[in-house]
Amino acid sequence: MKRILVFSLIVLSLFGFFHQAHAGWIKTFGSPVGNYGFWVELTSDSGYIVAAVYSDTTIVSALREPYKFDSMYFVKTDTAGDTLWTRKVEGSTARCIQETKDAGFIATGEGALVVRLDPDGDTLWARSFSSPYGGPGYAYCVRELDDGYIITGVNVARRNEEWTDDLLLLKVDTNGDSLWTRSYGTAGKFEYETGYSIQVTSDGGFIVAGQGPEDGLWILRTDSAGDTLWTQLYKLGDKDFNDRAYEIEPTSDGNWIITGGVDYDVIFNGALLLMKIDTLGDTLWTRIYDYGDDVDVGRSVRQTPDGGYIVLGSKEYSYYGTGAIWLLKTDSLGDTLWTRTYGGNPNDRGDCIQLTSDGGYIITGFTRTYSTSEYNQTLLMKLDSLGFVSVEEPVTHPVTPVTHWEITQSPGHQIVLKFSDYPYGFRADIYNASGRKVDEISTVQSSGMITWGKRHSPGVYFIREAVSPASAQKVVIVR
């Protein structure tokens, strides 16, 4: 029987490609001159809390007096992402926030600052644990304990008359008073050892993921007093460049999943890392996802109810001057099921992801593409279970160039896709009806025509252009 290509040029919101189960939305927050979201948590009232950086001056002014004009910035929203309140704590930058047992919050950031907030966001106390040697330090991650809080980050140290950065582990009580402090590192003058993520282990100890000696990915396991039980150093990329872990999370089988980045040269060549280790730090499997000529990095990972993983990352420092927020869904062995990209500007970045009660995801980071000003703004994006978002809230001032693509009918077993005004080339992902990515289209040409579908089976497909993930075109091939 003669094949007939039947297609409809239906522009669909991302959440509605295959079902209407979960609505999505995009929100941006902050000052008109620069904001950066780093952490999001679900709250007990079914809303969200975001920890971010609020800039009160332009980048040029800030370079003259760094950090003077930055503040910790906290945004509390309801379940629809609408703002309930915002709070600023001046003189620092927020990197992590957790809801406490009393529905308040504990947050950390630059200057090794630890801040305790009540449920309305008002400051109860603030403590700085900067290095006695004058270095600012940084508290990257905090977890609540029964008797206080455990914090990891980086602090300046001086050993053998040499300066170095050490991984910081700090325990404070419920009033913010220090119970103990531990530093971990080597005497190397140029070593940069830091903890980016910490978890409490089943025996009451701690496991920290970050960057260690020789620019390797470093995992540190301690007891409840911070004394070292074991460490593991992993070199996965070029031996002369950086490997680092940005987040570690427990898995349902008692092991650990890690995401981060692997570098291969000085610029424009890095890959997103997903690695599973056992309770002793031995590698169970490693997956490296390389998008191309840019620095791909994973910044947040969670295990999903199906036993797989959802990874939030970014495509950064591209040779072509573009970037994007990158979402990657894998099975339990780290094999890719689907990927999504959002935005298309070098200043689009994803930093933290959480699972939501409806089976979807909430992410934060920062964006220029969706910003309502010419500078970066904190991004809060709600996605459905397949990583799609609706377009009920249009971009007010999109920075990416105006682009155009369409599908032209062609008799037979393939389609012709026309595109124009893509200065960095055209790329589109193709999904089947179940949401699995089955192919992609890419070319370095800024305008032209592409044929697709000759070797694919009849059925329903969705073609989504990479720069504008809020729209797609549906194609149905029928015999």
Q: Would you state the pLDDT for residue 160?
A: 65
Would you say 369 and 341 are in contact if contact means Cβ atoms under 8 Å apart? Answer: no
If DSSP states are collapsed to H, E and C, what string results for 125-192?
EEEECCCCCCCCCEEEEEEEECCEEEEEEEEEEEECCEEEEEEEEEEECCCCCEEEEEEECCCCCCCE
pLDDT in tens, the chain (479 residues): 434 333 333 333 333 343 434 469 999 998 777 889 999 999 999 999 999 999 876 544 444 444 456 899 999 999 999 999 999 998 889 999 999 999 999 999 988 899 999 999 999 999 998 766 555 688 999 999 999 999 999 987 766 666 678 899 999 999 999 999 998 987 655 578 999 999 999 999 999 999 988 888 999 999 999 999 999 999 886 655 689 999 999 999 999 999 999 886 544 567 899 999 999 999 999 999 876 556 789 999 999 999 999 999 988 765 445 578 999 999 999 999 999 999 888 789 999 999 999 999 999 999 988 888 888 899 999 999 999 985 433 333 333 444 578 887 544 567 778 888 876 677 787 877 666 667 778 776 778 888 887 777 777 777 877 665 445 677 776 65
**Does residue 358 sit in helix, strand or coil?**
coil
CATH 1.10.1370.40 fits 404-478, yes or no: no
**Does residue 374 sit in helix, strand or coil?**
coil
Name the amino acid, one letter, at 349: R
Q: Would you state the pLDDT for residue 433?
A: 67
* DSSP secondary structure letter of residue 402: P
Distance of CA 113 to the CA centre of its chain: 22
Q: Would you state the pLDDT for residue 299?
A: 97
* Distance separating alpha carbons of residues 410 and 443, to the nearest angstrom: 21
- Joined together, the tokens standing for residue 4 give 């007939």
Would you say 76 and 63 are in contact if contact means Cβ atoms under 8 Å apart? Answer: no
Bridge partner list, 452: 415
* Distance separating alpha carbons of residues 304 and 328, to the nearest angstrom: 12
pTM of the model as a whole: 0.76
Q: Would you state the pLDDT for residue 22?
A: 45
* Distance separating alpha carbons of residues 177 and 452, to the nearest angstrom: 63
* Distance separating alpha carbons of residues 143 and 432, to the nearest angstrom: 41
Would you say 234 and 216 are in contact if contact means Cβ atoms under 8 Å apart? Answer: yes
Bridge partner list, 75: 50, 86
Q: Would you state the pLDDT for residue 229?
A: 98
**Does residue 216 sit in helix, strand or coil?**
coil
Bridge partner list, 218: 210, 233
Domain ranges of the chain: 20-383, 404-478
* Distance separating alpha carbons of residues 171 and 155, to the nearest angstrom: 14
The residue among 388, 405, 402, 424 whose CA lies nearest residue 473 is: 405
Name the amino acid, one letter, at 370: Y
Q: Would you state the pLDDT for residue 149?
A: 98
What contacts 223, CB < 8 A, 6 or more positions away? Answer: 203, 204, 205, 229
Distance of CA 300 to the CA centre of its chain: 5
* Distance separating alpha carbons of residues 348 and 367, to the nearest angstrom: 4
* Distance separating alpha carbons of residues 145 and 14, to the nearest angstrom: 39
Secondary element (H or E) of residue 64: helix 59-64
Q: How far, CA to CA in Å, does 318 sit from each of 291, 315, 455?
A: 10, 7, 32
Name the amino acid, one letter, at 110: E
The residue among 110, 177, 166 whose CA lies nearest residue 138 is: 110
- Joined together, the tokens standing for residue 359 give 């089976």
- Joined together, the tokens standing for residue 107 give 């947050």
CATH of 20-383, one of 3.30.420.40, 3.30.110.70, 2.40.50.90, 2.130.10.10: 2.130.10.10
Give the CB-side neighbour count of residue 381, counting CA atoms within 13 A. Answer: 40
The residue among 321, 323, 397, 327 whose CA lies nearest residue 355 is: 327
Q: Would you state the pLDDT for residue 434?
A: 62
Q: Would you state the pLDDT for residue 62?
A: 41
- Joined together, the tokens standing for residue 113 give 């600052």
* DSSP secondary structure letter of residue 226: S
